[in-house]
Amino acid sequence: MHVLILGGTTEARRLAELLAGVAGTRVTSSLAGRVAAPRLPPGEVRVGGFGGAGGLADWLREHRVDALIDATHPFAGTISFNAAAAAAATHVPLLALRRSGWVAEPGDDWHMVDSLDQAARVLPALGERVFLTTGRMGLAAFAGRGLDRLWFLVRSVDAPEPPCPARMEVLLDRGPFSLDGERELLRRHRIDVVVTKDSGGAATSPKLVAAREAGVPVVVVRRPAHPGGVAVVGRPEAAVDWVRLLRG
């Protein structure tokens, strides 16, 4: 049974590890190729776009894929719609493995927004020293003249490219991050506002706890829409169960 995992997340890698131990299952993980030196999962790996939903459907047919698992990041909106369209066109069963979003707790000062642009608009009223954890893509939203007064600590896996905020320091790092590390980072850089996507998961959530403890507001970008009619599980183990059920 050939399973294609659309990956780029911790959960996708974990799923590939788990499926490697299921006899009679061949696993291919697909990465977009955004990260220069990605952590590779076990099994076969292919890198790069498919060329839209049609290209993905062709790939599914050519490589005789029996099951498709969309384990991409909750903010990777396009590929999830492409997966739904390609699965429908080829009649390949599709499952989405998507972690739940974060939930605010007592003491949190969250400001929910719909986009990075909207995050940039609310920032000046909240603070001046910004910890920006939304990744290196989309930094243009924070490059506007109206934000020249703000200073940004930008954390990303690979170095960002212009346009970038006028005043910024780049911290190249990738999760998981520890609570002690996040506390220290907020303190050392005198951060007074944090910006994050609602990525969910434990690997990057300690910044939310550190912000709560320090009384620092957090601008949280809501998730984009996902295709309807697709079964969703939240944990890699549940995706393995789904594969086992399909095999019968």
- List residues binding ligand NAP (CB under 6 A): 6-9, 30-32, 34, 49-52, 55-56, 72-73, 75-79, 82, 135, 197
Least separation in angstroms between residue 58's CB and ligand NAP is 11
Contact in structure between 182 and 213 (CB atoms under 8 Å): no
Residue nearest to ligand NAP (CB): 49
**Nearest residue to 131 via CA among 198, 194, 204, 175:** 194
Least separation in angstroms between residue 72's CB and ligand NAP is 3
Pick between residue 77 and residue 144 the one whose CB is nearest to ligand NAP: 77
Pick between residue 139 and residue 192 the one whose CB is nearest to ligand NAP: 139
Least separation in angstroms between residue 197's CB and ligand NAP is 6
Pick between residue 27 and residue 151 the one whose CB is nearest to ligand NAP: 27
The backbone torsions φ and ψ at residue 97, rounded to the nearest 5 degrees and listed phi first, read -105, 105
Pick between residue 79 and residue 239 the one whose CB is nearest to ligand NAP: 79
Pick between residue 33 and residue 107 the one whose CB is nearest to ligand NAP: 33
In 212-223, which positions are buried (b, 16+ CB within 10 angstroms) versus exposed (e)?
Answer: beeebbbbbbeb
Least separation in angstroms between residue 247's CB and ligand NAP is 23
Least separation in angstroms between residue 166's CB and ligand NAP is 23
Contact in structure between 114 and 222 (CB atoms under 8 Å): yes
Least separation in angstroms between residue 235's CB and ligand NAP is 17
**Nearest residue to 210 via CA among 183, 178, 180:** 183
Burial class (CB in 10 A: 0-12, 13-18, 19+), 167: middle
Pick between residue 121 and residue 226 the one whose CB is nearest to ligand NAP: 226
Which strands make up the sheet holding 94-97, listed edge to edge?
Answer: 44-47, 26-31, 2-6, 67-70, 94-97, 231-233
